[in-house]
Amino acid sequence: MINKIKIRLCEPGNEQAGRYFSLRLKQRLHNERSEYKNVRMIFVVSDIEGNFQAFRKLLVKNKVIDRNCKWTFGEGHLVILGDCFDRGEQVTECLWLIYSLEELARKDGGHVHFILGNHEIMNLNGDWRYVHPKYAEKQPFSRNPPAALYYGNAELWKWLQTKNIIEKIDDILFVHGGIANEMLALKLSVTEINDLARPYYHAAEKIFSDPPLYYIFNSELSPFWYRGYYQQAINEELVDATLAHFKVNTIITGHTVVDHITSFFNGKVINVDTDHSVGNSEALLIKKNGYYRVDNEGNRTKIK
């Protein structure tokens, strides 16, 4: 049984193409907890979309990892807020890096959170409309169809199903899209939402009659599809109601592209989805003394 994997850091033709990072497969996979407390520092990035080099540079320049992809963030928490999949040509490299960093962070007292977005759910269900052309090529002698999990990688498939679609860290709510009024009206906790959703990650195309599952998987009001915060579809009262229900002060999302990481509704909602594919690569650094927009050179701008 293979238990160690080598991942190329750069594509052929790059000056660093001969460099790799390696990782060992986990002995056991466990479902992630939904709530975490007493976290001193958080680094948040979303919508990587297969742009491994941009992702790696952002982490290196902001001292989350070193050039060899080793964890350097101590007891800090790294949050990937969905949509590692599709469009870019190094999706598997992104996934394996996140996978490897989980164990490296744990050994230092840190943690890695990978919260699923709509593109993770799409790929788990065989919706490959947005995959890079290289992943659409059927491999010689392979019985597996083209897939973004790629060529039937069972370890990544099982690992993704341990992840959540919403999490709470101290007084912050993390969700890829957002919480619509219809979802809020169900009065579910973050743990209840994750427990309801997880058994159906691979069956999201089914039409559900149960209201919670319908809103999670069949509706644009889903926590990983919702765009209402950024389409002038709601007022601040819904945001306040959401904060009160989940007992948080801030909601952080991705999913809807912005030019720069930006706060909305008087700082109560923050969008961290910038376009990594065009070099506009940013992340959110959260410390006890404030919220900072950081770029791929390590520059910081306080936003809250």
* pLDDT over 60 at 237, yes or no: yes
**Segments making up each domain of the chain, as ranges:** 4-302
User: Per residue in 80-136, pLDDT tens?
Assistant: 999 999 888 889 889 999 999 999 999 999 999 999 999 999 988 888 788 777 766
Task: Give dist(CA 201, CA 184) in Å, integer.
Answer: 21
Q: pTM here?
A: 0.92
Backbone angles phi, psi at 92, to 5 degrees: -65, -35
User: Per residue in 174-217, pLDDT tens?
Assistant: 999 999 999 999 999 999 999 999 999 999 989 999 999 999 99
Residues above pLDDT 90, as percent of the chain: 74
Backbone angles phi, psi at 168, to 5 degrees: -125, 125
* Per-residue pLDDT band at 1 (split at 50, 70, 90): very low
Backbone angles phi, psi at 245, to 5 degrees: -60, -45
* pLDDT over 90 at 284, yes or no: yes
* pLDDT over 90 at 22, yes or no: no
Lookup: tokens for 37: 């407390």
CA angle 72, 77, 78 (to 5 degrees): 80
Q: In sequence order, what DSSP letters do the residues of 68-101 get, joined into one string?
A: TS-B--TT-EEEE-S--SSSSS-HHHHHHHHHHH
Give me the CATH code for the 4-302 domain, please. 3.60.21.10
**Beta-sheet pairing, 290-295 with 4-8:** unpaired
Burial label for 186, CB within 10 Å (0-12, 13-18, 19+), is middle
> Among candidates 46, 16, 49, 86, which has minimal Cα distance to 273?
46
User: What pLDDT was estimated at residue 21?
Assistant: 79
* pLDDT over 80 at 73, yes or no: yes
